[in-house]
Amino acid sequence: MIKLRGILKEKLTPDLQKKVGSVLFGSLNTIAKLQKAKIPVDGSEAEINTAWENDLYTKIEQWINVSEVGTAKFFAKNKELLQTLAKEFPSVLQPPIGKLAYRGTSIKIDSLKNAFIKKQYEIVKVGGREVFHFKNLGYIPNRKSQSWTIDPKVAFRFEGRANNEDSVHVVYAIRVNKDFIFSPELMNIISIDAGQESETVRIGGEGIFEAFVDSSVFLNTWKFEPKAFFTHKLSKAKPFFKPMIDKYNKAAAKDNKRFPVSERERISPVSSIEDIITAYDNTDDGPIDFNFRKEYGKSTRQFINLIKNK
């Protein structure tokens, strides 16, 4: 039996040692190299796989390709065994504890709409996209084992059952913890033909997680008028709102000149849409010749038309 030059962390039970040998998936030298196993000069296997290893490898491969229910149940049933093996073979099985993992799926519009209307979000950039970041959205998986990835760009490619009618695309995020199995390095090696997705597997139920929703979901799916006053926060939309700011300031200057009042009651000039929103929140009033909803809707429609025409 080939030894791993001090890599083994814990002594396995004889039965478990018999299942896996000393090099996990030793028949594949790419995986054996992760474990710093000695590869024979002639390029043959570092260690022949046991029947149990071949079965586990096949199940992981099937999971990457199809994610069948039977394999999900196998992972859930053998979670503790796989975590025991992860202590022995950390470079192959240990998930990236502490890193953010992402899962692209779908969420019911009503669930998302409530959080949106309550303004429980901020606009950030993730995976090269401008997205809405929700800190607390409910997540209900359809099975005990789920595919996650440490690459957000990959997660945004998976939309679950989103149909843009009663459900939309969402990407959940959570720090990798004891609920996870498998290292992304192993999964990338096994999935080389299917495309490397830096996958890891979570075994757990529902919870409250961070979530990210692409801004296009709100712009193209819902008929909010005028889009609940969020469009101006999108970086690509800002040029379309500059004329609105100018129009407000001109109308304010006109009113100040037309209706002389004390300095305290004068309408102050603004430099951003947020300033205008604040002005209306504080006084529920503005320049006579300025209709906030109308102007905001106009700027939003111009921006959306640009997106649709691209």
296 touches 226 (CB < 8 A): yes
Q: What is the pLDDT of residue 281?
A: 66
Q: What is the pLDDT of residue 30?
A: 92
Q: What is the pLDDT of residue 293?
A: 83
Among 201, 202, 181, 3, which Cα is nearest to 85's? 181
Element of type H or E holding 25: none
Element of type H or E holding 109: helix 109-117
The tens digit of pLDDT for each residue in 84-142 reads 999 999 999 999 999 999 999 988 877 877 777 777 788 888 888 888 899 989 999 98
Low-confidence ranges of the chain (pLDDT < 70): 1-11, 164, 193-194, 218-228, 261-264, 281-285, 307-310
The whole model's pTM is what?
0.74
Q: Which residues have C-beta within 8 Å of that of residue 62, sequence separation ≥ 6? A: 68, 71
Q: Token digits for 283?
A: 């006084």
Q: What is the pLDDT of residue 8?
A: 42
Q: What is the pLDDT of residue 220?
A: 61
Please give the angle made by the CA atoms of 136, 140 and 143, to the nearest 5 degrees: 145
Q: State the number of CA atoms in the 13 A half-sphere of 91 facing the CB.
A: 16
d(CA 241, CA 260): 29
Q: What is the pLDDT of residue 73?
A: 95
Alpha helices in 228-272 (DSSP H): 238-258
**185-188 long-range contacts, Cβ below 8 Å, gap at least 24?**
185/34, 185/91, 185/92, 186/31, 186/34, 186/60, 186/92, 186/93, 187/60, 187/64
Cα 30 to the center of its chain, rounded Å: 29
What are the structural domain ranges in the chain?
14-91, 100-221, 227-309
Q: What is the pLDDT of residue 307?
A: 61
d(CA 17, CA 19): 5
- The DSSP secondary-structure symbol of 270 reads -
28 touches 189 (CB < 8 A): yes
Number of other CB atoms surrounding residue 69 within 10 Å: 12
Q: What is the pLDDT of residue 245?
A: 93
Largest CA distance in the chain: 95
197 touches 151 (CB < 8 A): yes
Q: What is the pLDDT of residue 64?
A: 92
The span from the first CA to the last CA of the chain, in angstroms, equals 62
Q: What is the pLDDT of residue 159?
A: 75
d(CA 37, CA 178): 27
